[in-house]
């Protein structure tokens, strides 16, 4: 007797957990929530509506906060430091 396979396969669906945001407490008493401390240049360009080439140039010229896990590894945008810079440059609640 040959084994039979079911005609319709039950696909397992992975339940995705919601992304837990990281809370960053700044010395001024401001709390900012970010999804991750680092992100790729492509993801940062999408978030900030910048061109990917502009983000890469800023990372290489060190005009943007960056993180590199190893000396020859990929460059990542340091989201926490960039958020800190943006808050220091523009404080809309003090205007």
pTM here?
0.67
- Per-residue pLDDT, averaged over 76-85, amounts to 89
Which is more confidently placed, 77 or 8? 77
pLDDT given at position 54 = 93
How many residues would you count in the chain? 95
């Amino acid at each position: 007797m040959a084994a039979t396979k079911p005609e319709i396969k039950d696909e397992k669906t992975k339940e995705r957990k919601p992304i837990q945001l990281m809370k960053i407490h700044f010395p001024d008493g401001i709390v900012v929530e970010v999804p991750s401390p680092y992100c790729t240049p492509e993801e940062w360009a999408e978030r900030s509506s910048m061109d990917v080439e502009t983000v890469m140039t800023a990372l290489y010229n060190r005009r943007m906060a960056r993180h590199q896990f190893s000396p020859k590894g990929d460059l990542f945008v340091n989201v926490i430091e960039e958020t800190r810079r943006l808050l220091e440059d523009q404080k809309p609640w003090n205007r």
